[in-house]
Amino acid sequence: MQLKNQSQTYGWISIVLHWMVAIVVLGTFALGFWMVDLDYYSTWYHDAPNIHKSIGVLLILGMLARFLWNQVNIKPQPLAKSALQNSIAVTVHLILYLLVFAIGVSGYLISTAESQPIAVFDWFEVPALFTPFEDQADIAGEIHEWLAYGLMGLVALHALAALKHHFFNKDKTLKRMLKPISNNQRK
């Protein structure tokens, strides 16, 4: 079992972290999109935001783990022949990271606007570290929403690019993020 990345392929740890983050990002967005229209009398009115916050904190921890793993592990060589295409890919990945972290910061500011900690599934709490500023929840909420929509747009482009590589370029870009490719599969 290939846990670490190789020069031509991703290892299982990178693959699992990638897909876990992808699923959690999509699920958290869907939950957030759904919960903003709940009325006070809904049984989910309090539970959905608490779940959203808890998953959001865990997502940020997962992204930090993924970032650290990427720092100590080699990155497989790009498959695209174009320097421009490789540059765009690196930039998009960087923006994806920045958006997730910015969404986490704005979510933290929404959640701590009343100087209350964030309870993460009653496992632990993230303290409110800053004195709230005027209209903090509203301002951070607007930013959070727009960043989330921007992230979803970039995720869609990222997925389309992977499909383009798979179906039109017929390279291993998508396949190597699904499972490690053995030496005899690299052709």
What one-letter code names the amino acid at 99?
L
Stretch 45-69: mean pLDDT:
96
CB 148 within 8 A of CB 31: no
Report which of residues 90 and 1 the model is more confident about. Answer: 90
Predicted confidence at residue 180, as pLDDT, reads: 84
Domains defined for the chain, CATH in brackets:
12-181 (1.20.950)
The pLDDT of residue 187 is above 50: no
Predicted confidence at residue 182, as pLDDT, reads: 58
Tokens of 106: 């704005």
Predicted confidence at residue 184, as pLDDT, reads: 46
Predicted confidence at residue 169, as pLDDT, reads: 86
CB 77 within 8 A of CB 7: yes
Contacts of residues 134-137 at CB distance under 8 Å and 24 or more positions apart, as own/partner, are 136/109, 136/110, 137/109, 137/110, 137/113
Report which of residues 159 and 82 the model is more confident about. Answer: 159
Task: Convert the pLDDT of each residue in 107-166 to its tens digit.
Answer: 999 999 999 999 999 999 999 999 999 999 999 999 999 999 999 999 999 999 999 989
Tokens of 34: 């759904």
